[in-house]
Amino acid sequence: MVNEFLVNNLFVLIAGLLVFIMTISIGFLEVGELGEDLTVSLLKTMLITGSALFFMAFVGFNTAFAPTISGLIGNPFYGGLFLGGFSTNLPGLLTDVWWSMTSAYFGTGLTVGTYFLFETAFASVTLAIVGVVTLRKMKIEAFVIYSVVYFVLIWNLPAAWIWNPSGWLFLLGMRDFAGGLVVHAAAGAAGLGILYQIWREEKKKGLLESPRAAVNLRPGWLTLSILLLWVGWFGFNPGSVLAFNNSAMVVVLTTFLAAASAFLSIMFFQYVLTKQNPGLLYAVNGVLMGLIIITPLAGFVSPGSAVILGLIGGPLFLAAERWFSRFHWFSDPVGLLPGHLVGGLFGLLMIALFTQQAFATASGNPTLPDGILFGGGYAAVQQLGIEAFGAAVVLVTVFVLSYITVWLISSAIHGITTDYNKSVLGDLPRKRDLQERI
Amino acid sequence: MVNEFLVNNLFVLIAGLLVFIMTISIGFLEVGELGEDLTVSLLKTMLITGSALFFMAFVGFNTAFAPTISGLIGNPFYGGLFLGGFSTNLPGLLTDVWWSMTSAYFGTGLTVGTYFLFETAFASVTLAIVGVVTLRKMKIEAFVIYSVVYFVLIWNLPAAWIWNPSGWLFLLGMRDFAGGLVVHAAAGAAGLGILYQIWREEKKKGLLESPRAAVNLRPGWLTLSILLLWVGWFGFNPGSVLAFNNSAMVVVLTTFLAAASAFLSIMFFQYVLTKQNPGLLYAVNGVLMGLIIITPLAGFVSPGSAVILGLIGGPLFLAAERWFSRFHWFSDPVGLLPGHLVGGLFGLLMIALFTQQAFATASGNPTLPDGILFGGGYAAVQQLGIEAFGAAVVLVTVFVLSYITVWLISSAIHGITTDYNKSVLGDLPRKRDLQERI
Amino acid sequence: MVNEFLVNNLFVLIAGLLVFIMTISIGFLEVGELGEDLTVSLLKTMLITGSALFFMAFVGFNTAFAPTISGLIGNPFYGGLFLGGFSTNLPGLLTDVWWSMTSAYFGTGLTVGTYFLFETAFASVTLAIVGVVTLRKMKIEAFVIYSVVYFVLIWNLPAAWIWNPSGWLFLLGMRDFAGGLVVHAAAGAAGLGILYQIWREEKKKGLLESPRAAVNLRPGWLTLSILLLWVGWFGFNPGSVLAFNNSAMVVVLTTFLAAASAFLSIMFFQYVLTKQNPGLLYAVNGVLMGLIIITPLAGFVSPGSAVILGLIGGPLFLAAERWFSRFHWFSDPVGLLPGHLVGGLFGLLMIALFTQQAFATASGNPTLPDGILFGGGYAAVQQLGIEAFGAAVVLVTVFVLSYITVWLISSAIHGITTDYNKSVLGDLPRKRDLQERI
């Protein structure tokens, strides 16, 4: 193996390991925001981790990353189920590299082991993000069944379309660096599908609004979660160069600067609005918002642009949070919608404004035009159209698939919701639970 | 230094750091299963970490990994105590590589710094696994003295025999990829030696059965521990290739797939048996069982075989746990025996069934024959004999050495057991403690 | 990029990420020693992390590491604010390496992304160390303003003088491997500046001595913090070679052996002194003391010397702790002064005793003479003078700058201290709080 390829594999493998940590870190985030006794949060993220590895290996890695059938879905049987099963000559396993990592495509020399771990960690954390809205409302068995469909089909389609070099949106010119859409906004759409089914069942039970999960901070777990998530993003974004080169090191800068800027920005604006110390919850949401926004374009922009995008992130989150709080038919205490959906989409569209060709080319995306703010002109406007079109297609597809899936599960097992009131009352006697989020 | 050697060192050094984390993670595992106030669990794993580094550097690294005296034990004075002490020309320190990493042996170019950290982390975590049975029953000073003997002799002999290329079992053709026997099963044997002495002292005090430590889950710490242990195993298994190449990347797959499969398997079978959510404790034990089983052969098998081995792990753990629970003369609440002893031995024997030469050769073990299931025939049956023979020799040796050591310590300091009842009663008023493990 | 350069960057980037974790780990250290409800500890370390990244990128990286103006301070505008802002041709960003990493200087080929992350993580953790003395006594807004000055000027001057190859102390021959002075002792001096202003305000309020923060151990968080700090030091010291080579691997040894030795030493001496199990608090302080002492010379000494230095660390900490406890005008419950100030200075001076040229040369410091204990003679005595002189200049400068800064902030916002008694009383009803530290 060429030496640079070795280093690429080592880097992306480490990146994959860091992303792997993020799934259970989302469990800590839930525990940190909603209280330590939510054992189910932690079990849920362990289930997601195990299910992702198993079913992505079974067939999901292929449906996303094998050569596609007409650009629509990866060939499920490429190389055989379970990564070749007992085969010793799958290209990229013991010798050679995965097909899309040959010089005809991305040319970074990743093997099956490396690329599988990296992308499976992505799939896993995406479902963990979706899962923050299930709270104690969704039956755990329903969620387990959902996860199987998720890792075989729902997560995989957008990846096959945008990240697979034979996908139809990729060939159309759409780019999403590390998953502003494929991960974050798509998680929002999938979550909305689940929330809608929960609400349909709650309405049937006679509820007038969806019970709200209360904030119940555990500062230790909350801080640990944001630390691990921040560290995980070191794998998430720089690793998405799929190689170790100058671009990967620039992405470290854009990622960390966006996070720091959004953090300072949200603390500043929230302090100005309330004249109070915004506290740990906004600190955590600020860091996350910065990281989410930069995700889809971390490899396309300069450090200066990352700072600007981060600074915008603070007020954007505050406004989005306020807007979503007007709806009473769902409960989103960890911020799936104002954070991941809004932040992911915003960052995606900003590709058409902030991209600088030199950065995009270095990260392996030479076809991206300069952004509108950097003299991209008509090509940039066209890119904006492509990104918006791709986002719309993906969001609608994921929402519909997610909703159909939970609807089918609900039909099969007589509802996906738990007897929520009972389980909530079991936790309510504590004083701290009474303090509401906003 | 040749470039590939640099990358090998970087990879194994990172792997060593990840394994280093596992010792204290075992402390978190104890705390997570048995309750947060066990300060002694955490102090114990810190003592193990410190003692391992100090005494392995003093002489233990040599007794395990220096050129052996007649294949029995490494030369304790090779290069001088404390890794050369003040010497500037120990081969493999400032220049060159450690003797067994030259092309005459493993040929992967590791230096003293790299190899020492990696193997010392292994020694350390092995004692941490042993230590889960000491609970609050064993005097901390007795355990500290035990640790010195452990890192100079008890851990080192099996390593010198099986992992040292001049060891007699290695030369006999025995292989144990990352320590199914050297780490896990040997930890079980050493633990049994301690348990037997504890029981002898408890009997003398008039007890009819050994007091059982109660389960007292702390979901946060338990989940953190399994996350860190899983991540640590990324170092444990792939790092055991002692190089960074395609094989190391395959081992990432076999390791992670076995963990996920055993996890899903234990949850499924326990759910079928009890019709209840198995909860975090079985989730954690499932992941651990998969990781333990794959350890001795992760570099010899295909991803498909790893899935099968993992799936077997679930029912195997449940059966072993039930079997060991019939004994009342010891308490093993964290599962040393059904997990590490049974799982480690099972995986070791499976070498003779599941090995595929292409994988074994890639991980640097070209003499291993294909397994029985892959047409290995007579050679495979012979390999089974070698593995079983080696296992028997190692388990008996370690058990005897461990028992003699605690017996000598007991004689010297008038018993190794604490006034257990008192310390347990101090913790008992809590309700949660009453819920028994099985 | 030359292949070795790639590996250097990968290693230092990972090292930087590990150091990045240390800032928030200091927050866990505070929580672990002083109690879990100190949300402000965790928020403080998040603020430090965000502020460090933002203001070091803004201008602080330049004031420390850009070509200096007369050896005194780095050119603030080198390459532009925010790491080149929107520029695509800053040397070392998308192409080439940072000026001081070219072969004319350190020659290890680090890029801006790598070097910035690594050094910013150092700056960040230094302020986190300073911050352990602010406790709940200092207004959070005062600390935020202080952090801006800190990352633009106070941290940067010693770095520009000693670590920048154009700095005046570097040119004078002073060396400080990984920051015994630049990080640890300087943190002590900065902390003293803050403590002095706090005491001035407390006196004005009529207090006769400074209220002492009580010890309130949280074993889980305390152990997690020392684990993360130890792992972080893997980045801190080996990463300070700024390259991946044999020397970096030796530094792994010296760092880990010093930590283990000091740990065993403090446990032994404290046990001898008190005849009691020293407990987690001394265990943690022992590890930290070993790590601090070895920091300024980890790349200059042999593993044998590291063990000796570590063993000295135990009694040194115990003596220093006793000495500082005589003062009643400040509260230092986490041990900034006996640990970081005393340990950092002690290690720095030991450069002149324990250095062995072969090790120093391997880590890129060929001008350092052998130490007094290794036949360095007059040159070594001269080196002692240089180190002592440099230390005096840095400590005085940092103390004065720190004090002036808090004094100015105090004038601007009418005092930097909170209504401490009230906030302390709010926490006092708990029994555990009553147990004092020594």
Q: CB of C83 within 8 A of CB of C57?
A: yes
Is ipTM > 0.90 here?
Answer: yes
B427, pLDDT greater than 60: no
Read off the pLDDT of each residue in C326-351 and give the average, rounded to a whole number.
96
Question: Which parts of chain A sit beneath pLDDT 50?
Answer: 423-438
Q: CB of C228 within 8 A of CB of B25?
A: no
Structure tokens at B208: 């009819």
C429, pLDDT greater than 70: no
Collect all residues with Cβ–Cβ distance below 8 Å to B109 and sequence separation of at least 6: B1, B2, B4, B5, B8, B9, B97, B101
Residue A113's alpha-carbon distances to A17, B83, C11, in angstroms, are 12, 35, 21
Q: How far apart are CA C94 and CA A432, in angstroms?
A: 50
Residue linked to tokens 């777990």: A221
Read off the pLDDT of each residue in B308-319 and give the average, rounded to a whole number.
98
C427, pLDDT greater than 80: no
Query: Could you report the per-residue pLDDT of C189-243, keeping only the tens digit for each?
Result: 999 999 999 999 999 999 999 998 888 899 999 999 999 999 999 999 999 999 9
Q: CB of A52 within 8 A of CB of B257?
A: no
Distance from CA of A42 to the nearest CA of C (A): 18
Cβ separation A303–C54 shorter than 8 A? no
Identify the pLDDT of residue B136.
85
Query: Phi and psi of B73, rounded to 5°?
Result: -155, 145
Chains that touch A (3 or more CB pairs under 8 A): B, C
Collect all residues with Cβ–Cβ distance below 8 Å to B103 and sequence separation of at least 6: none
Query: Phi and psi of A347, rounded to 5°?
Result: -60, -40
Read off the pLDDT of each residue in B147-176 and give the average, rounded to a whole number.
98
Identify the pLDDT of residue A123.
98
B27, pLDDT greater than 60: yes
3-state secondary structure of B163: coil
Read off the pLDDT of each residue in C75-81 and give the average, rounded to a whole number.
97
C40, pLDDT greater than 90: no
DSSP label at B380?
H
Collect all residues with Cβ–Cβ distance below 8 Å to B25 and sequence separation of at least 6: B224, B225, B228, B229, B232
The mean of the pLDDT values for chain C is: 94
Identify the pLDDT of residue C82.
97
C81, C82, C87, C92: CA torsion to nearest 10: 100
Cβ separation A11–C10 shorter than 8 A? yes
pLDDT range class, residue B422, cuts 50, 70, 90: low
DSSP label at C178?
S
Q: Which residue of A has its CA nearest to C51?
A: A260
Q: CB of C210 within 8 A of CB of C329?
A: yes
Region of residue C135 (phi > 0: left; psi between -120 and 50: alpha; otherwise: beta): left
Chains that touch B (3 or more CB pairs under 8 A): A, C
Query: Phi and psi of A417, rounded to 5°?
Result: -90, 145
Which residues, in sequence order, are bridge partners of residue C138? C417
> Which residues of C fall within a CB distance of 8 Å from B117?
252-253, 256
3-state secondary structure of C73: strand
Cβ separation A246–C6 shorter than 8 A? no
Query: Could you report the per-residue pLDDT of A340-361, keeping only the tens digit for each?
Result: 999 999 999 999 999 999 999 9
Cβ separation A113–B217 shorter than 8 A? no
Query: Could you report the per-residue pLDDT of A304-337, keeping only the tens digit for each?
Result: 999 999 999 999 999 999 999 999 999 999 999 9
Identify the pLDDT of residue B435.
34
3-state secondary structure of A195: helix
Q: Which residue of A has its CA nearest to B12?
A: A10
Q: How far apart are CA B238 and CA B101, in angstroms?
A: 17
Cβ separation A54–B307 shorter than 8 A? yes
Distance from CA of A217 to the nearest CA of B (A): 14
B428, pLDDT greater than 90: no
Q: Which residue would you say has higher pLDDT here, B385 or C1?
A: B385
C308, pLDDT greater than 50: yes
Q: Which residue would you say has higher pLDDT here, C300 or C435?
A: C300
Mark C201-211 as b/e (b = at least 16 C-beta within 10 Å): bbeeeeeeebe
B268, pLDDT greater than 50: yes
| Cα–Cα–Cα angle for B417, B419, B423, rounded to 5 degrees | 120
Identify the pLDDT of residue A409.
98
Q: Which residue of C has its CA nearest to B121?
A: C256
Q: CB of B19 within 8 A of CB of B125?
A: yes
Cβ burial, residue A2 (10 Å; 0-12/13-18/19+): exposed
Q: What is the DSSP string of B97-133?
A: --GGGSTTTT-S---HHHHHHHHHHHHHHHHHHHHTT
Distance from CA of A20 to the nearest CA of B (A): 9
B296, pLDDT greater than 50: yes
> Which residues of A fall within a CB distance of 8 Å from B222?
42
- Residue B317, Cα to own-chain centre: how many angstroms? 17
pLDDT range class, residue B420, cuts 50, 70, 90: low
Q: Which residue would you say has higher pLDDT here, C190 or C4?
A: C190
Identify the pLDDT of residue C437.
29
Which of B288, B321, B85, C172 lies closest to C164, judged by CA? C172
Q: CB of A332 within 8 A of CB of A133?
A: yes
Q: What is the DSSP string of C302-370?
A: -HHHHHHHHHHHHHHHHHHHHHHTT--S---TT-IIIIIIHHHHHHHHHHHHH--HHHHHHTT-TTPPP
C436, pLDDT greater than 50: no
Region of residue A109 (phi > 0: left; psi between -120 and 50: alpha; otherwise: beta): left
B434, pLDDT greater than 80: no
In this structure, of B35-44, B335-344, C123-132, the range with the lowest mean pLDDT score is B35-44
Cβ burial, residue A252 (10 Å; 0-12/13-18/19+): buried
Query: Phi and psi of C73, rounded to 5°?
Result: -155, 145
Amino acid type, A132: V
Q: CB of B211 within 8 A of CB of B421?
A: yes
Q: Which residue of B has its CA nearest to A52?
A: B260
Read off the pLDDT of each residue in C130-141 and give the average, rounded to a whole number.
93
Distance from CA of C13 to the nearest CA of A (A): 8
Structure tokens at A326: 């007007």
